[in-house]
Structure 1
């Protein structure tokens, strides 16, 4: 009589998956890569590095930040979409993650990845973009910038992280709404785009607060407007585009951690708990604040809902703007 339950238990145990994926208690046993789909110096990079350092302290394993740039972020994003769902390859994704597949379809091209190939794990920052110009530029207000752009079509250039990227789409939204003709100069990421602005190669760019904050403090740059729904702490003097009559023009450059969608639920939960712990790490909080990034932590269902809603809004914006050659 005793042998039957023992036999049933043995058969049940044999039927359990042998993959280490289902055993998050053993995770991680070696280095975990965090991919940023852009060169160093941009928003994804300045958020990924303190978060990775916090995870290293928590996991006692290396968490190298891997800058895999190219094609407006498409190359780095696609690398995680195709990665094994074992937790050892993560993505610090930006808002452009949701845009690139839709932009590919506009041009009749097969997207390199689809949104459902990613599992949202945790959001760390979600800041509105700002219109930044050199402090020596003649424009001190948004109205002056727009008036000059209308008077000199194609004369004012701006840099971005690539077509339909996180720094291009907000400017495209503005130029479409304001009927402006600006010269778009795309780079491989926010870091090179910012370097171009600081060196005088271009006259404007959009950016999250993190990368430009040191240059605002040094007096090298000024900001003329934000894409937020309301003014934000630390930038109370900066008007929003909506205040200036551009209703519905709203854009946030957010940074969040994603895993491949094939990652098993128990491992996703282990990753979520680790990200929550990293968000509470005082060193992570200090590093983000020093870089001008306000921690806006969300995970689980809250981040998934945010990602779905923002994706829907950005896809509509891309469709409204249409093809940009």
Structure 2
């Protein structure tokens, strides 16, 4: 009788165990097991788009799943930034953010639907992005140097205009910094993205344009635009014959660069953050990728791409750009 009762108890215990739910982690396949999306806040062909697509290909290989790029443009990159800030922190949605979207916009906009610092998980710093001072050789044949440009601006205060990719964008603020350093009065004309701004320069609507390095290098090499200076302290390997603003314009210490970085929604699980950060760091420090960054895009690879170093750069730049935005008077309500 005791044996029968014992067997019955064991059967009941086994049935009860089967009825218990499995832990959530036991039911899920290891990450990643489906396509990953890198969001961008700027149009196709922009510097952000170019970098995101370049990164997606090797990232897809090492992770074993498709990595796709989805650009949701508008509001200075805020639409894509808000989308990612509110996305599920499951490791399938990332953002290729910039100093513009997550540092400049913090002061430029009177209010944001997300917190640029708290509503993210830092993955990897992707590089420093300079601007290139461009003019049109067809429509401005007399502007052959930065000195020529400054002289023309001083001769016609408030009349010489320049393009940007939007009010408060890094391409706008580089122009503000340049005008303040040179003591000139120039007119800012904002456009909706890199394409329309470049077209305005090529058509003669605007006189100059501090465009980001990536979309500037090809047209410069092809002679469509004339590169007068770069906004870094050292010359770019991609444009070795183009002087710095300090060299060409005599503006001591001038520098205007931003950064690209890979971000995720807040509260991303640490194992996913660590794996993604490790894979991205490995990719962007490979010799071929470094050569692409420096020689094709004019981007300086980060000394430390890791999440902790990225967060420090991010925190510092919110304060740094706040001062530039306030001095520029730019504001979006």
Structures share fold, TM-score greater than 0.5 = yes
Residue aligning to 2:191: 187
Q: 2: CA distance between counterparts of 1:125 and 1:198? A: 28
Q: 2: CA distance between counterparts of 1:131 and 1:198? A: 14
Q: 2: CA distance between counterparts of 1:19 and 1:159? A: 52
Asked whether the 8 Å contact 1:54–1:283 carries over to 2, the reply is: no
Three-state SS of the structure 2 residue aligned to 1:291 is: helix
Asked whether the 8 Å contact 1:50–1:288 carries over to 2, the reply is: no
CA RMSD of aligned residues (A): 2.7
Three-state SS of the structure 2 residue aligned to 1:64 is: strand
Residue aligning to 1:92: 96
Residue aligning to 2:144: 140
Asked whether the 8 Å contact 1:73–1:165 carries over to 2, the reply is: no
Find out whether 1:239 has 2:246 as its counterpart. Answer: no
Find out whether 1:322 has 2:332 as its counterpart. Answer: no
Residue aligning to 1:46: 50
Asked whether the 8 Å contact 2:164–2:188 carries over to 1, the reply is: yes
Three-state SS of the structure 2 residue aligned to 1:159 is: strand
Residue aligning to 1:302: 309
When residues 283 and 60 of structure 1 are mapped into structure 2, their CA distance, relative to the original with a 3 A threshold, is: farther
Match of 1:32 among 29, 36, 41: 36
Unpaired stretches in structure 2, ≥5 consecutive residues? 1-19
Asked whether the 8 Å contact 2:130–2:299 carries over to 1, the reply is: no
State which drifts further: 80-89 or 285-294.
Answer: 285-294
Find out whether 1:264 has 2:305 as its counterpart. Answer: no
Residue aligning to 1:111: 112
Q: CA deviation at 1:195?
A: 3.1
Q: CA deviation at 1:280?
A: 4.6
Q: CA deviation at 1:245?
A: 4.4
State which drifts further: 45-54 or 229-238.
Answer: 229-238
Unpaired stretches in structure 1, ≥5 consecutive residues? 1-13
Count of equivalent residues:
304
Q: Deviations over 1:53-97 (max 9, x none)?
A: 111122232222111111222222222222221121111112202
Q: 2: CA distance between counterparts of 1:164 and 1:197? A: 19
State which drifts further: 299-308 or 235-244.
Answer: 235-244
Asked whether the 8 Å contact 2:133–2:227 carries over to 1, the reply is: yes
Asked whether the 8 Å contact 1:35–1:89 carries over to 2, the reply is: yes
Match of 2:278 among 263, 273, 278: 273
TM-score (norm 2): 0.81
State which drifts further: 174-183 or 143-152.
Answer: 174-183
Three-state SS of the structure 2 residue aligned to 1:33 is: strand
Q: CA deviation at 1:285?
A: 4.7
Quick check: which has more Rg, 1 or 2? 2
State which drifts further: 212-221 or 300-309.
Answer: 300-309
Asked whether the 8 Å contact 1:69–1:189 carries over to 2, the reply is: no
When residues 125 and 323 of structure 1 are mapped into structure 2, their CA distance, relative to the original with a 3 A threshold, is: closer
